[in-house]
């Protein structure tokens, strides 16, 4: 039997992201079947899942920016167009999602800090709007 040459997988044609949660009950899905596109062979069992594969597009982009910046938070800040505290907060949230957070999450910015960052030009108005929308309602 001759071995068939492997063809590279075209992510544009075959790049569907597998869901990580059950659409019926919300519990985590388990990978139980793997298949070869080339020869049709299949493996069945319970396989571990890559934690990076379950990141949504925004988190995957954040991870790429962080890696491209070689962990330099000032570079992350510049690339994202956000303030240093916002960049740190986003990296902290990403670490939490990946289960890599060894220290407590940085305290979120309060309304006054957000407005101060905008006034100083360190925070884009669109980012400030998102952060303000995420703040807990203090009206009671």
Kindly give the pairing relationship between strand 31-35 and strand 42-47: antiparallel
Supply the pLDDT for residue 11.
47
Supply the pLDDT for residue 15.
63
107 vs 123, higher pLDDT: 123
The pairs formed by 97-102 with CB atoms below 8 angstroms and a separation of 24 or more are: 97/55, 97/59, 98/51, 98/52, 98/55, 99/51
Write out the two tokens for 1. Answer: 């039997």
- Report residue 62: phi and psi, to 5°: -60, -45
Task: Answer yes or no: pTM beyond 0.75.
Answer: no
Supply the pLDDT for residue 31.
81
Radius of gyration of the chain (CA): 21
pLDDT at 4 exceeding the cut of 70: no
- Percentage, residues of the chain above pLDDT 90: 10
Write out the two tokens for 11. Answer: 């992510």
**What is the average pLDDT value for the chain, to the nearest integer?**
80
pLDDT at 24 exceeding the cut of 80: yes
Domain range annotation of the chain: 56-129
Supply the pLDDT for residue 140.
45
Return d(Cα 33, Cα 49) in angstroms, integer: 12
Return d(Cα 52, Cα 18) in angstroms, integer: 12
Query: In 3-140, at which residue ranges do the beta strands (DSSP E only) sit?
Result: 31-35, 42-47
Place of tokens 């962990």: 71
Q: What is the pLDDT of residues 80-108, one digit of tens each?
A: 888 888 888 888 888 888 888 776 656 77
Distance from the Cα of residue 55 to its chain's centroid: 4
Rounded average pLDDT over 65-84: 89
Return d(Cα 77, Cα 87) in angstroms, integer: 5
pLDDT at 126 exceeding the cut of 80: yes
pLDDT at 7 exceeding the cut of 70: no
């Amino acid at each position: 039997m001759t071995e068939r040459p492997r063809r590279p997988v075209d992510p544009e044609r075959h790049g569907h992201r597998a869901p990580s949660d059950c659409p019926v009950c919300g519990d985590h899905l388990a990978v139980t079947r793997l298949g070869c596109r080339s020869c049709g062979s299949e493996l069945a069992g319970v396989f571990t899942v890559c934690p990076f594969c379950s990141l949504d597009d925004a988190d995957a982009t954040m991870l790429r920016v962080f890696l491209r910046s070689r962990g330099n938070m000032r570079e992350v800040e510049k690339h994202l167009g956000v303030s240093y505290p916002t960049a740190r907060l986003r990296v902290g949230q990403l670490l939490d999602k990946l289960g890599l957070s060894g220290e407590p999450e940085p305290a979120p910015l309060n309304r006054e800090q957000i407005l101060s960052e905008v006034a100083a030009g360190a925070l884009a108005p669109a980012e400030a709007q998102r952060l303000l929308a995420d703040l807990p309602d203090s009206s009671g």
